[in-house]
């Protein structure tokens, strides 16, 4: 988010890039929002009952002689008020490692355009850095109360001191930090396009449906009793009836008291998917494990909490609400399943929680791998795992259509279906050289003549590298095929390409495949994959399941017969680089190849459980 302002109001404005980013992670947000709103709680589900402790670094700007600045009592009251409001979002804020005093006269009257100079010197990584100053202006020299910057890991909120004590402005800016938009929408200079009847509530206005359409509240259309007295109407002529008490509105600051349930769910989801890395170095509930995944039916895990000065540990190793261990470094044996882990730690004065979603994966599905990702809500679905190795926000996401960044990424999935999904590593906001891993569930190689095929799209000036690794019972084998480096498509609209990995030497073994993306030189570097599956290569054109004839094709007609009348199969015909030309259902009627030029093609037959690849010649 970037910043601008109306006098004495919020200085945060949601950019087009921010809106696109939120849209791109909507599937991930939806999963956590639904869990939050349903408040259901069981093994393997996303937990929502534990309060998540979020560390804040307070930077108090004072005069050069050390006088002035917001007082300690005012700061503590502001944090306490914030916690009263955000407890319903399952969030609790605490000051990490004391207060940083910045004694510099010129910063007491702060301008937004000086942000980078301030933050480069004083920001503490992994914390929400809140700066408090006497006077605050945006880059247009307009007075503002505060603004937030949540892009990538900048994690900054800057507040005017006398706005901190009004009990709503800090909560408002924290709402922006956790992705909320003004209730009147992302633009301050035009009336919202959201309709009063709510028919476009999920796409217009703030994109949240339990906040009524808002024409933009001001002190002129809200009276001293917090009542809306405006007469504005929407595009259909319906009179607005906005919520004057919503914290994300431009209502009178004393009127703003609450978030809606869907706003609370959105902030919780954004924290869990995007800001869960926030951690105080001296007091945190972080932990490590010696292992976290296996293809076997059970797994013994050694947990380790390294934070010093902890007096009490409470481990809920499957997030069922029951404390399982109270030792610092417990050992637990899991049975098959996918588990969340919650740790609560205490010192002499405070307790904090942190939950890791889908952290332990044991004995997940081992049958034939055949994944087009269309049923995925998040990249970590169905036993797969997405891991932001470098911890800078570079990770794999589910998407359909274009990615959120211009001039990079595909326009659609490999099937070219409008709503077809694919997985991609988003380069925006990350650093060159950052690594993101996307690891499959377990699968078993049943046949000697097997290959793993995947489709990939790598277009953009800043494309990095895609490495493919296999995990066996002995560990990872890196780069089982040469790394794919740099832009591979000539145009964003170009089709996905395909690669195959020979699995013949892994017959009867249980494996995982890992896609390891390395971020390139710039934000124009989105890397996408789709349609990961095991195929069986048959040397004869016909076999015990299928009979394909004639080959080479005669009279432009190709016959495909199944030896099992109950077997329902589909076919696809593509060139050797995976560009599809024909598809359909196998039947008694021949396939007409008259529109294809002479050459060699691949015929893929799919019965829903396995795929068979055959070469045909026309």
The pLDDT, as a whole number, for residue 39 is 61
**CA-to-CA separations, 537 to 75, 168, 371, 547, 580, in angstroms, rounded:** 68, 64, 18, 15, 19
Instruction: Give backbone dihedrals phi and psi of 152, rounded to 5 degrees, phi first.
Output: 50, -120
* CATH 2.60.120.200 given to domain 370-537: yes
CATH architecture of 546-617: Sandwich (2.60)
Query: Token digits for 447?
Result: 């046949």
**Which uninterrupted H or E stretch holds 170?**
helix 169-177
Whose tokens are 């829903």? That residue is 608
The pLDDT, as a whole number, for residue 228 is 97
**Which uninterrupted H or E stretch holds 583?**
strand 580-585
- CA 155 to CA 226: how far, in whole Å? 32
- CA 530 to CA 292: how far, in whole Å? 25
CATH number of 288-361: 2.60.40.10
- The distance of Cα 53 from the centroid of its chain, to the nearest Å, equals 20
∠ Cα 404 408 410 (to 5°): 80
Domains 2-32+43-260 and 288-361 share a fold: no
SS (H, E, C) 538-570: CCCCCCCCEEEEEEEEECCEEEEEECCCCCCCE
- The distance of Cα 158 from the centroid of its chain, to the nearest Å, equals 25
pTM: 0.70
The pLDDT, as a whole number, for residue 537 is 62
The domain made up of 2-32+43-260 has a fold known as Collagenase (Catalytic Domain) (3.40.390)
The pLDDT, as a whole number, for residue 376 is 87
The pLDDT, as a whole number, for residue 413 is 94
- Domain residue spans of the chain: 2-32+43-260, 288-361, 370-537, 546-617
- CA 110 to CA 135: how far, in whole Å? 6
**Residue ranges, the chain, pLDDT below 50:** 1-7, 40-48, 539-541
């Amino acid at each position: 988010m970037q910043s601008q302002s109306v006098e004495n109001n919020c200085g945060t404005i949601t950019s087009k890039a921010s809106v696109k980013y939120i849209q791109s992670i909507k599937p991930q947000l939806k999963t956590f929002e639904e869990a939050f709103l349903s408040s259901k709680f069981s093994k393997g589900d996303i937990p929502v009952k534990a309060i998540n402790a979020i560390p804040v670094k307070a930077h108090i700007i004072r005069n050069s002689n050390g006088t002035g600045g917001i007082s300690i009592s005012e700061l503590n009251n502001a944090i306490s008020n914030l916690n009263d409001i955000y407890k319903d979002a399952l969030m609790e804020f605490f000051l990490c490692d004391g207060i940083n005093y910045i004694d510099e006269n010129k910063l007491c009257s702060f301008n937004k355009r000086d942000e980078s100079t301030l933050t480069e010197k004083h920001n503490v990584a992994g914390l929400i850095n809140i700066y408090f100053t006497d006077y605050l202006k945006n880059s247009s020299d307009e007075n503002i109360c505060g603004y937030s910057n949540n892009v990538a890991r900048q994690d900054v909120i800057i507040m005017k001191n006398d706005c901190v004590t009004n009990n709503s402005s800090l909560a408002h800016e924290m709402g922006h930090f956790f992705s909320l938009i003004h209730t009147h929408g992302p633009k301050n200079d035009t009336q919202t396009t959201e309709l009063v009847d709510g028919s476009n509530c999920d796409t217009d206005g703030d994109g949240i449906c339990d906040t009524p359409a808002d024409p933009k509240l001001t002190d002129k259309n809200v009276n001293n009793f917090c009542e809306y007295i405006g007469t504005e109407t929407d595009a259909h002529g319906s009179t607005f009836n906005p919520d004057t008490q919503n914290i994300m509105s431009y209502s009178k600051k004393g009127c703003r008291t609450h978030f809606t349930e869907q706003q609370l769910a959105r902030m919780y989801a954004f924290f869990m998917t995007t800001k869960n890395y926030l951690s105080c170095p001296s007091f945190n509930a972080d932990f490590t494990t010696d292992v976290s995944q296996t293809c076997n039916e059970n797994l013994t895990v050694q947990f380790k909490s390294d934070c010093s000065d902890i007096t009490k540990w409470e481990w809920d190793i499957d997030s069922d609400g029951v404390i399982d261990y109270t030792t610092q470094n417990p050992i637990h044996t899991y049975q098959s399943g996918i588990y969340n882990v919650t740790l609560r730690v205490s010192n002499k004065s405070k307790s904090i929680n942190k939950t890791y979603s889908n952290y332990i994966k044991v004995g997940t599905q081992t049958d034939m791998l055949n994944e087009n990702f269309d049923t995925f809500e998040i990249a970590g679905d169905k036993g797969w795992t997405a891991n932001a190795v470098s911890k800078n926000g570079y990770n794999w996401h589910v998407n359909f259509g274009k990615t959120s960044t211009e001039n990079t990424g595909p326009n659609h999935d490999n099937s070219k279906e409008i709503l077809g999904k694919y997985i991609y590593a988003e380069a925006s906001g990350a650093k060159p050289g950052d690594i993101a891993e996307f690891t499959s569930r377990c699968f078993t190689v049943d046949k000697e003549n097997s290959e793993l095929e995947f489709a990939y799209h790598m277009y953009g000036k800043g494309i990095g590298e895609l490495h493919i690794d296999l995990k066996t019972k002995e560990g990872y084998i890196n780069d089982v095929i040469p790394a794919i480096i740099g832009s591979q498509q000539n145009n964003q609209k170009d089709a996905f390409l395909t690669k195959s990995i020979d699995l013949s030497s892994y017959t009867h073994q249980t494996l995982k495949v890992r896609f390891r993306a390395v971020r390139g030189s710039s934000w124009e570097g989105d890397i996408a994959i789709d349609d990961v599956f095991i195929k069986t290569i048959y040397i004869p054109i016909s076999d015990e399941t299928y009979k394909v004839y004639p080959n080479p094709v005669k009279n432009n007609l190709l016959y495909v017969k199944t030896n099992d009348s109950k077997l329902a199969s589909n076919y696809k015909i593509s060139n050797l680089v995976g560009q599809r030309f024909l598809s359909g259902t196998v039947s008694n009627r021949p396939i007409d190849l008259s529109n294809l030029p002479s050459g060699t093609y691949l015929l893929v037959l799919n019965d829903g459980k396995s795929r068979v690849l055959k070469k045909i010649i026309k």
